[in-house]
């Protein structure tokens, strides 16, 4: 037995484990289930009682030495020191992810750019508005349904004077009122912005969306001027061969009013599911500014005339990129947003 103890001691002293695997082999050979030291512990039961004390001590000391040696060497192998050999220099570096513009912004900027090229400037206005700028100055009669709670989000209501009601603007036409109140003709502005309506959210409607409003006021501005400007816009936005048509409509702030359609850019006017087999897509409302509106804003309606138009940005971008569900714009799913990588 003593011989075998001496052999284990010697093995321990001369141990040269160069890899974790060699160390593990050593561990199994000495203190594994069938290891040489384990066997000595088994045989210890049969040793004469008078020798037990001394031998037991020796075996235990040896076992502790073996364990501490293994632990020490294992730490050495698993330490976090990184050497040049550990680094894979061929791995690609960490990429800096740059965000992309939201499709609403891309479409809005494209719309604004087209009108900027025609000499329009960009005007802004508040999202929290009063009744005057959203309704009254725009010739909405007091009982008009758009003033109803069902359509408008009110912040505060004034029972005595409706015009002092505070609300979230339901359209960007309010900005044209602010521009007319503060600027003298000639006026040429486009007004982008977020608008709010009390609508149930679905694939086709949302309570928050975006519009771009346009306003042109000068002497002798005619319906023909409007038509030609909007034709130019439609061709820049949807392609050279695009046709437009104007259908009679009604808005309180324009007279006459029209709804403008463009020929369907997907089927080229032949009819498809996007244009509901009509060959036409409705894209905006427009018309000649009602003289009542000009007068409300302090502009002489005998001297000046003008046209106005308004379009939904979500609708324009849905048509341009064939997006079928409005809610995608608000979910911020990067897989959707990444598709509109654009510098504008």
Q: Which residues bind ligand DAH (CB under 6 A)?
A: 171, 173, 213, 251, 254, 285-287, 308-310
Retrieve residue 225's tokens. Answer: 């001027």
Angle at 307 between CA 306 and CA 309, to 5 degrees: 155
CB of 213 to ligand DAH, least distance (A): 5
Cβ partners under 8 Å of residue 29, min gap 6: 11, 35, 36
CB of 195 to ligand DAH, least distance (A): 7
Q: How large is the greatest C-alpha to C-alpha distance in the chain, in angstroms?
A: 129
- Cα separation, 293 vs 123, in Å, equals 18
CB of 289 to ligand DAH, least distance (A): 7
- Cα separation, 54 vs 50, in Å, equals 8
Q: According to DSSP H, which parts of 210-264 are helical?
A: 223-238
Cβ atoms of residues 199 and 322 within 8 Å: no
CB of 287 to ligand DAH, least distance (A): 5
Q: Quick one: 26 or 309, whose CB is closer to ligand DAH?
A: 309
CB of 261 to ligand DAH, least distance (A): 14
- Of 138, 132, 136, the closest CA to residue 251 belongs to 138
What are the CA-CA distances from residue 251 to residues 20, 132, 267 (Å)? 83, 16, 30
Q: Quick one: 40 or 308, whose CB is closer to ligand DAH?
A: 308
Q: Quick one: 147 or 171, whose CB is closer to ligand DAH?
A: 171
- Cα separation, 246 vs 228, in Å, equals 12
Retrieve residue 240's tokens. Answer: 């050279």
What are the CA-CA distances from residue 53 to residues 5, 63, 67, 307 (Å)? 16, 16, 21, 111
CB of 284 to ligand DAH, least distance (A): 7
Q: Quick one: 152 or 242, whose CB is closer to ligand DAH?
A: 152
Q: Quick one: 168 or 286, whose CB is closer to ligand DAH?
A: 286
Q: Quick one: 233 or 309, whose CB is closer to ligand DAH?
A: 309
- Of 189, 196, 194, the closest CA to residue 168 belongs to 196
Q: Quick one: 39 or 150, whose CB is closer to ligand DAH?
A: 150
CB of 136 to ligand DAH, least distance (A): 14
């Amino acid at each position: 037995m003593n011989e075998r103890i001496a052999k284990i001691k010697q093995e321990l002293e001369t141990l040269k484990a160069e890899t974790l695997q060699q160390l593990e082999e050593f561990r199994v050979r000495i203190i594994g289930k069938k290891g040489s030291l384990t066997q000595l512990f088994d045989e210890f039961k049969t040793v004469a009682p008078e020798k037990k004390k001394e031998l037991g001590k020796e075996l235990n000391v040896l076992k502790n030495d073996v364990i501490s040696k293994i632990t020490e060497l294992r730490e050495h192998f698993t330490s976090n020191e990184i050497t040049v050999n550990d680094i894979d220099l061929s791995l690609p570096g960490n990429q800096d992810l740059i965000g992309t513009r939201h499709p609403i912004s891309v479409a809005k900027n494209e719309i604004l750019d087209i009108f900027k090229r025609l000499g329009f400037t960009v005007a802004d206005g508040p999202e929290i508005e009063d009744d005057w700028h959203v309704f009254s100055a725009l010739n909405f009669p007091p009982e008009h349904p758009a003033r109803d709670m069902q359509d408008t989000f009110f912040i505060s209501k004034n029972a005595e004077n409706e015009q002092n009601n505070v609300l979230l603007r339901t359209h960007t036409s309010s900005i044209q009122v602010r521009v007319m109140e503060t600027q003298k003709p000639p006026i040429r502005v486009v007004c982008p912005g977020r608008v709010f309506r009390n609508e149930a959210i679905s694939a086709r409607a949302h309570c928050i969306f975006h519009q771009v409003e346009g306003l042109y006021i000068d002497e002798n501005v005619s319906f023909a001027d409007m038509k030609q400007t909007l034709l130019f816009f439609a061709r820049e936005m949807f392609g050279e061969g695009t046709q437009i048509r104007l259908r009679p409509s009604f808005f309180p702030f324009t007279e006459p009013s029209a709804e403008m359609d463009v020929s369907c850019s997907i089927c080229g006017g032949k009819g498809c599911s996007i244009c509901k087999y009509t060959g036409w897509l409705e894209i905006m409302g427009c018309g000649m500014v009602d003289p009542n509106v000009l007068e409300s804003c302090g502009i002489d309606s005998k001297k000046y005339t003008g046209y106005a138009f308004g379009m939904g940005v979500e609708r324009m971008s849905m048509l341009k990129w064939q997006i079928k569900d409005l809610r995608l714009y608000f979910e911020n799913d990067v897989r959707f947003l990444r598709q509109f990588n654009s510098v504008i």
